[in-house]
Amino acid sequence: MRDFSLLEKKLNLNFLNKDLLVQAFVHRSFLNENPDFKLSNNERLEFLGDAILEHIVTEYLFKNYPDKSEGELTIWRAALVNAKMLSKIANDLGFNDFLLLSQGEEKEEGKARNYILANTFEAFIGSLYLDQGFDACKNFIEKNLIKELPEIIESGLYKDAKSLFQEKSQEIVGITPSYKVLKEWGPDHNKKFIIGVFLNDELIAEGEGSSKQEAEEEAAQKALEIKNWE
């Protein structure tokens, strides 16, 4: 078992309910091999943490950039809370050393591991909220995630394919793109998705990925190429 007191020390946090901290790191696959483990997986915490994270980032951007449009703030927020950024921060914080995974998932690296780390970051926010409240989450997110914003703005990192396609669609044809799952398959711990990007009812392109976000990003990239909007 991991020694989570080391993580608390690194993060300068002290959880009142240690089980909440541990649960944030429990991947579904771990329970398949350890069905008697006392805690459930981190997916409900991830659901909660995702909403809290978006709230805090949204409020920060709204208050600190009063001259920016809704469109710009939306794109900046997406750049802060996307899986790529969250997995980077989770890695920087040492979360990878505390993941509770199946033996098969332990061997997975690259993109698959990054999505697990991003989801764990969201679950951790959910745990922190339940244990210590909104202000603790706000301090943690501003200290560890929002600090990346100046670099994102300066280097244009916010211009991911999905954001770009939305920007171009609104600018050129006055439509906000929508995304729809066309197909999904595989076990819960290793799902695959095909997602279509639509302008009104017109299917522009499809993307495939091991998460909805990854499939949406690929669909948007293909749509940019099809529309010649790059």
Q: Which of 46, 122, 217, 218 is catalytic?
A: 122
Is residue 224 within a helix (H) or strand (E), and if so which, with residue range?
Answer: helix 212-227
Q: Which of 50, 105, 131, 214 is catalytic?
A: 50
Query: What is 34-77 written as a DSSP string?
Result: -TT-SS--SHHHHHHHHHHHHHHHHHHHHHH-TTS-HHHHHHHH
Report the chain's terminal Cα–Cα distance, integer Å.
48
Distance between CA atoms of 85 and 218, rounded to whole angstroms?
17
- How many CB atoms within 10 Å of residue 34? 13
- How many CB atoms within 10 Å of residue 47? 12
Q: Are strands 202-209 and 178-185 parallel, antiparallel or unpaired?
A: unpaired
- Given a contact cutoff of 8 angstroms between Cβ atoms, the answer to whether 22 and 5 are in contact is no
Distance between CA atoms of 176 and 35, rounded to whole angstroms?
44
Catalytic residue check, 154: no
Distance between CA atoms of 219 and 161, rounded to whole angstroms?
9
Catalytic residue check, 122: yes
Q: Enumerate the active-site residues.
A: 50, 122
